[in-house]
Amino acid sequence: MATQDGIDSTQFIIINDGDGYRESAFYVNGWNSYWLRMESVWSSSRSKVSEMLKRGSQMGLTVCRTWAFSDGHGPDALQVSPGVFNERVFKGLDYVIVEARRNRIRLILSLVNNLVAFGGKTQYVKWAKEAGVNVSSSDDSFFSNPVIKDYFKAYIKAVVKRKNSLSGVRYSEEPAIFAWELMNEPRCSSSSSAPAFRHGLLGWLHLSKAWIKDMW
């Protein structure tokens, strides 16, 4: 079931995706539908997920970027506290992955939000404060505080090692997962975060190499 992919010069190469679907080169032609996991949690709205992935495939698109996070409280929160997950919501993400593979769409899964919506780095900082950790008032401590970094590392590990409840395939071995994105719209707001994060326009797009290496 494991994919056998690689890079040849400037091209992505897919040798065998595990389902007998073979091609010599893979071209990224995609879109963003951040809401897929949200809709897949509820059986009444799962058809929206299936339809979106089906239409993308019919249009010749190959990659969809979507969120693999929702931190905090609420009926569709994936991580309700550090290392504690809502299995029903996780099964919704399982469904997204299975449907993507069925429609020959590959996914870029984003793992946390820079923004407040759906918890994001603000929620991680809040969890640390509630646990009595001495953290700065800036949410940018997400990038530097060792306790918060450990929270996020544990989350990444839980997601990557997850065994899909519908297919039995671990996410780390899933051919439908094209790439992982550490954060949605990453940036820092405080100058004190400079050692951990780049500023300016590049700050929207690139985490420092040290932080990426540490997290992954």
Q: What is the pLDDT of residue 12?
A: 82
Lowest mean pLDDT among 14-18, 137-141, 163-167, 173-177: 14-18
* Band of pLDDT at residue 205, cut at 50, 70 and 90: very low
Is 197:207 a contact under the CB 8 Å cutoff?
A: yes
Mean per-residue pLDDT, 72-83 = 94
Model confidence pLDDT, tens digit, residues 6-58: 555 677 877 666 565 565 688 899 999 999 999 999 989 999 999 999 999 99
Mean pLDDT of the chain: 87
Backbone dihedral angles phi then psi of residue 209, each to the nearest 5 degrees:
-60, -35
State the Cα–Cα distance between residues 50 and 139, nearest whole angstrom.
Answer: 36
- The residue written with tokens 């992955």 in the block is 97
- Which CATH number do you get for residue 157? 3.20.20.80
The Cα 67–Cα 53 span in angstroms is 15
**Residue 65, φ and ψ in degrees, nearest 5:** -95, 130
Q: Which two tokens stand for residue 171?
A: 């996410």
Number of domains in the chain: 1
* β-bridge partners, 6: 13
Q: pLDDT at position 19, please?
A: 62
Q: How far are the Cα atoms of 6, 32, 99 from residue 26, in angstroms, in the given order?
A: 10, 18, 19
Q: What is the span of the domain harbouring residue 182? A: 4-215
108 three-state secondary structure: strand
- What is the arithmetic mean of pLDDT over 89-108? 97
Flag whether pLDDT at 202 surpasses 60.
no
User: How confident is residue 204, by pLDDT bands cut at 50, 70 and 90?
Assistant: very low
φ/ψ of 106, rounded to 5, equals -105, 150
Token couple for 89: 């919501």
Lowest mean pLDDT segment, chosen from 100-109, 111-120, 182-191: 182-191
Position 200 scores a pLDDT of 42
20: region left, alpha or beta (phi > 0 left; psi from -120 to 50 alpha): left
pLDDT computed for residue 136 by the predictor: 85
Residue 182 to residues 2, 25, 128, Cα–Cα distance (Å) = 22, 26, 20
Q: What are phi and psi of 69, to 5 degrees?
A: -155, 155
Ranges 10-24, 139-153, 175-189, most confident: 139-153
Nearest to 126 by CA among 113, 112, 139, 140: 139
* Residue 192 pLDDT > 70: no
Per-residue pLDDT band at 206 (split at 50, 70, 90): low
